[in-house]
């Protein structure tokens, strides 16, 4: 029996299956259902006593329910005698509410972090979590915290499907996306990259301006961490095409695609639209498990 067992929650099972295969670990099972009153029922079916456990669940569709399921499962693992408990949360919900923007608001990610902190976990792994105003996530969450990136997996997909890219330019749709544009450009052989200027009009409407970006006759590759309503991407594509971009590819790590976002993006006539499977969607064609497996091998000495 392997010392390492991988478990997947209702929104992480697809990642857990590949992760267990890549790590040569046992793939365990967790039973999750609902009581008649709507409460979540969790039962760990794998033998975890004295073993190292990696539990994967992404707080994506229905984050309130998946958060409760995740907390219940992680707490049960420790109570059942697991020697080590490592949580993999590819998409960490509530991370964007990381400060009080208006008087009286709950700082949601700090509340969520306190819940994780109470579980006495050995480590937590996320993927491209919103950390712009969080300086020490390990201190905040109370466990060794690893924020991985899915951009290298996206770059591999772009290179294999669309290479050679010639004089393509990588575009970050706003200043916060500069970090992902830089990684993508480096992974694709040192392409030029630039960042657009975004001005938010409302929670669902943004204006994007392209200044000093030379995309005339070139392929533009937009990369971002999250696509939610698709408003930022739509405006970015419009701005790039006004500057003469030949084609546009859009890649993101977390394709939330809320509401009619998918249809909105399809109407843009993009050369390609792709995301990782941290969040399941019609464009989730790039598996994140290889990036997670690489980190676990390094950190756990596998």
Catalytic residues, by residue number, are 198
- Ranges of beta strands (E only) in the chain are 4-8, 26-27, 30-34, 40-44, 52-56, 84-89, 123-127, 144-148, 169-172, 192-195, 197-200, 206-209, 219-227, 247-255, 272-276, 284-286
User: Interhelix angle for 289-300 vs 13-23, to 10°?
Assistant: 50
Distance in angstroms (rounded) separating the CA atoms of residues 250 and 177: 13
On whether the CB atoms of residues 30 and 42 are closer than 8 A, the answer is yes
Distance in angstroms (rounded) separating the CA atoms of residues 144 and 175: 28
User: Interhelix angle for 178-187 vs 151-162, to 10°?
Assistant: 50
Distance in angstroms (rounded) separating the CA atoms of residues 139 and 15: 27
Q: Where are the alpha helices (DSSP H) in 207-287?
A: 231-242, 261-266
Beta strand pairing call for 84-89 and 123-127: parallel
To 10 degrees, the CA torsion angle through 257, 263, 265, 267? Answer: 180
Residue whose C-alpha is closest to residue 130's, from 226, 223, 26 = 226
**Tokens 């306190």 belong to residue:** 114
* b/e burial code for range 225-250 (CB count within 10 A of at least 16 → b): bbbbbbbbbbbbbebbbeeebebbbb
């Amino acid at each position: 029996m392997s010392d390492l067992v991988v478990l997947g929650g209702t929104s992480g099972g697809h990642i857990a299956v590949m992760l267990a295969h890549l790590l040569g670990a046992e793939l365990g099972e967790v039973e999750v259902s609902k009581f008649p009153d709507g409460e979540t029922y969790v039962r760990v079916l794998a033998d975890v006593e004295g073993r190292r456990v990696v539990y994967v669940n992404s707080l994506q569709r229905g984050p309130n329910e998946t958060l409760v399921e995740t907390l219940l499962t992680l707490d049960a693992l420790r109570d059942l005698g697991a020697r080590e408990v490592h949580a993999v949360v590819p998409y960490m919900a509530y991370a964007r509410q990381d400060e009080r923007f208006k008087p009286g608001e709950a700082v949601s990610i700090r509340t969520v972090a306190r819940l994780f902190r109470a579980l006495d976990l050995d480590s937590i792994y996320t993927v491209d979590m919103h950390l712009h105003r969080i300086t020490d996530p390990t201190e905040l969450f109370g466990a060794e915290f690893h924020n991985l990136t899915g951009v290298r997996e996206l770059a591999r997909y772009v290179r294999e499907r669309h290479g050679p890219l010639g004089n393509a330019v990588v575009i970050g749709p706003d200043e916060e996306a500069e970090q992902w544009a830089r990684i993508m450009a480096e992974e694709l052989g040192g392409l030029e990259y630039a960042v657009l200027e975004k001005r938010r009009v409302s929670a669902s409407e943004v204006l994007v301006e392209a200044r000093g970006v030379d995309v005339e006759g070139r392929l533009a590759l937009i990369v971002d961490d999250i696509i939610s309503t698709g408003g930022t991407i739509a405006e970015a594509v419009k701005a790039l095409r006004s500057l003469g971009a030949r084609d546009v590819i859009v890649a993101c790590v977390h394709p939330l695609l809320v509401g009619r976002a998918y249809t909105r993006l399809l109407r843009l006539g993009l050369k390609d639209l792709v995301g990782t499977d941290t969040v399941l969607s019609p464009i989730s064609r790039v598996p994140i498990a290889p990036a997670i497996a690489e980190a676990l091998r390094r950190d756990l000495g596998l």
